[in-house]
Amino acid sequence: MLEQIKETAAWIKEHTQMRPRTAIILGTGLGHLAEEIEIEDEFSYKDIPNFPVSTVEGHSGKLIFGRLGDKDVMALQGRFHYYEGYNMKQVTFPIRVMYELGIKTLFVSNASGGMNPNFKIGDLMLITDHINFMPEHPLHGPNFPTGPRFPDMHEAYDHELLDMARSIAKEKGIHTVEGVYLATQGPTFETPAEYRMYHIWGADAVGMSTVPEVIVAHHCGIRTFGISIITDLGVEGKIVEVSHEEVQRAANAVQPLMADIFREMVHRID
Ligand code: HPA
């Protein structure tokens, strides 16, 4: 595994001159930000040695190197989900490669179902914490030398970055909410009883991604910030049928606002 990670990182270094310190993972329906990147090099996942290939509709599967505003960034357009059949080592493989490439800060985005009764469809939720309800742990197995065997998780989502996002949202007049993201294995959306249970557990939003990547990034000492777009509601009395298309449409509608926050944050970090 470590050999594959190093091999992939070496291949990438051979194929691009860029050495960004910031990476962005663009989730379902959130590829818009990639259009704002002045692309220097891009690689289809299928051409990168050892990279898994993304299969979900709405995920194009590209690794992009370029400039966002005045900063160099690396962006993953499309991620690997557990429900697609990948194991957690595959799901988090790109994060291990990011570490090898010298990434220091990671921005993640996703679409999720809101369970907090104060949330509305289209809200941007700054992720303050998470609940890992995935069936397999990404750090299961021999410990990687990037971090301790028993990693502390009291600040998985960097507080300084959260504060920065709050100020930027305020300055720009962008409405945001905050909350805890719970990750399920999917691919089913939740039954009303499951939404109720997750909310009782302390989660404000539920989705099928992000948590494995954040755990591995944290274990690698990469600072993480995440935004979850509320694309449907798991709130009693407001639950309606939900489809992948609906989720993509709702995410699409507000992604420029999320892009605004990410762009400004990337500009401000060193
Ligand atoms: N549940 C799980 N994943 C999701 C949802 C949801 O309601 N919405 C978008 N992704």
Q: Is any ligand 1 atom within 6 A of the Cβ of residue 190?
A: yes
Average pLDDT over residues 254-266: 92
Q: What is the pLDDT of residue 29?
A: 64
User: Residue 190 above 60 pLDDT?
Assistant: yes
Which of the two residues, 213 and 243, has the higher pLDDT score? Answer: 213
Residue pLDDT, tens place only, 16-60: 999 999 999 988 667 788 888 999 999 999 899 999 876 655 455
Residue ranges of E strands in 9-61:
22-26, 38-44
**Displacement of CA 66 from its chain's centroid (Å):** 19
| CA 224 – CA 213 distance, rounded (Å) | 10
Q: How far is the CA of 256 from the centre of ligand 1 (A)?
A: 20
Nearest CA to ligand 1 atom 10: 112
pLDDT in tens, 99-130: 999 999 999 999 999 999 999 999 999 999 99
| 119 close to 204: Cβ distance less than 8 angstroms | yes
pTM attached to this predicted model: 0.94
Residue whose CA lies nearest to ligand 1 atom number 7: 113
Amino acid at 145: P
Element of type H or E holding 77:
strand 71-77
The SS3 of residue 201 is: helix
Average pLDDT, the chain: 93
Q: What is the per-residue pLDDT for 55?
A: 61
pLDDT per residue as tens digits for the range 92-106: 999 999 999 999 999
Q: List C-alpha distances in Å: 57 to 164, 239, 245.
A: 33, 24, 9
